[in-house]
Amino acid sequence: MIVAGDRDPYPDACDTPARKLLFDLVSIPSPSGEEEAAAERLRAFFEANGREAWIDEVGNVRAPADDSVLCTSHVDTVPGDIPVEVKPALESAYDVDPDDPTGGEALWGRGTVDATGPLVAMAVAAVETGVSFVGVVGEETSSRGARHLAAERDPPDALVNGEPSGWNGITLGYRGFLAGTYVNTSESGHTSRPEPNAIQHAIDWWAGVEDVFDPADPETPVFDQVTTKPVSFDGGLSEDGLAVEATVDVQLRVPPSRTVDEVHELAEGQLTTGSVHWKEPIPPVMESPRTPLARAFRVAIREQGGDVRLLRKTGTSDMNLFAAAWDCPMVTYGPGNSELDHAPDEHLPLAELDRAVAVLSDVCRDRR
């Protein structure tokens, strides 16, 4: 019997260990950098179920066991105050059975989808089957937890990374991520002068970057494109009034068909003046659907009555970092509709959580 918690009372619908743990963790605010309380609750869950667990030097929750599978997901969420309550799921977000007397009961709250729901599914399945588990921190910002884990730990035999894919979907591919800050300074002068200033140089550079990555075929799927996005722009006179300054924060998403180094070189090649300070990149990843791990998921999902969906995501996850460091089969999996990531109506049907736990447990038993 799995022990989840001793809160009294839980909502009536939170009547299983997985549902109770989800309610507890969603009730604890855990934005990136403030994961300590949620990490302690997760550690306590493993210890209550007879598993050794501890919090490492960067804040990850570690519960090692059978390394035939490592289940991992992130403890942190984005900020946002969504009342934690059980109420019906939105039919526009989930397939809700109109004949279900529960009304498709769902837990609403920040993190239910991204990624506390997947985190709980990983934790409960790890306890049920005796496989290894790590809850990592900082995924929504620098991925410091995953970076530390990949550098410090030997690879498992197989990895399941927790992010929302829907209980009947598995994610095999993510684009990579390259972020940087363009900076430039020019002498101040009257605005009637024809010479371009730092702001114009910044605009010209970014226009060149957008142009060089504009897909030749407009029908190219987004997953296969390099997409470019400026995320902030700051420019104007310096405090002493003697210079014009410009700073642009930019992000580029890199498909598996290209390398981060190639994209970096092409972006740098558009510079005529100024410089770009690049952050540590995250490479793209595309896993095979034919690995024993992927096959185990297909079997487990079908046994639960689902039609399997194989997904490629246009964003980035910690699986990118694990794939770059470890040579082992891996997939990303977890309950929830990813369109609700970071959204004000984030919620997860409790029945979807149950199905995900069943699928994960079957997969872990198959791989042991």
How is residue 16 annotated by DSSP?
S
Q: Check: CATH 3.40.228.10 for 176-278?
A: no
Q: Indicate where the chain has its CATH 3.30.70.360 domain(s).
A: 176-278
Report the distance separating Cα 33 and Cα 84, nearest Å. 21
The predicted structure's pLDDT at residue 57: 98
Tokens of 326: 């470890």
Residue of 24, 76, 245, 352 with catalytic role = 76
**Residue 163 marked as a ligand binder:** yes
Tokens of 307: 């039609």
Is 262 known to be catalytic? Answer: no
Overall fold of domain 17-174+285-367: Aminopeptidase (3.40.630)
Query: What radius of gyration, in Å, describes the C-alpha atoms of the chain?
Result: 23
Is 76 known to be catalytic? Answer: yes
Task: Please give the angle made by the CA atoms of 217, 220 and 225, to the nearest 5 degrees.
Answer: 105
Are the CB atoms for 244 and 236 separated by under 8 Å? yes
Are the CB atoms for 285 and 296 separated by under 8 Å? no
Residue of 24, 139, 287, 318 with catalytic role = 139
Q: How far is CA 300 from CA 30, 41, 58, 95, 160, in A?
A: 31, 29, 34, 20, 14
**Residue 347 marked as a ligand binder:** no
The predicted structure's pLDDT at residue 101: 59
Sequential DSSP letters for 292-343: HHHHHHHHHHHHTTPPPEEEEESS--HHHHHHHH--S-EEEE-SS-GGGTT-
Task: Name the nearest CA neighbour of 36 among 20, 64, 56, 63.
Answer: 56
Are the CB atoms for 143 and 280 separated by under 8 Å? no
pTM: 0.92
| b/e code 304-327 from CB counts within 10 Å (16+ = b) | eebeeeebbbeebbbbbbbbeebe
97 C-beta neighbours (distance < 10 Å), count: 11
**Residue 342 marked as a ligand binder:** yes
Are the CB atoms for 142 and 50 separated by under 8 Å? no
Q: Indicate where the chain has its CATH 3.40.630.10 domain(s).
A: 17-174+285-367
Tokens of 123: 């934790």
**Residue 114 marked as a ligand binder:** yes
Q: What are the pLDDT tens digits along the chain (368 aa)?
A: 687 766 668 999 999 999 999 999 999 999 999 999 999 999 999 999 999 999 999 999 999 999 999 999 999 999 999 999 999 999 999 987 766 656 589 999 999 999 999 999 999 999 999 999 999 999 999 999 999 999 999 999 999 999 999 999 999 999 999 999 999 999 887 676 788 999 999 999 999 999 999 998 989 999 999 999 999 999 999 989 899 999 999 999 999 999 999 999 999 999 999 999 999 999 999 999 999 999 999 999 999 999 999 999 999 999 999 999 999 999 999 999 999 999 999 999 999 999 999 999 999 999 88
Tokens of 35: 């994961």
Are the CB atoms for 53 and 63 separated by under 8 Å? yes
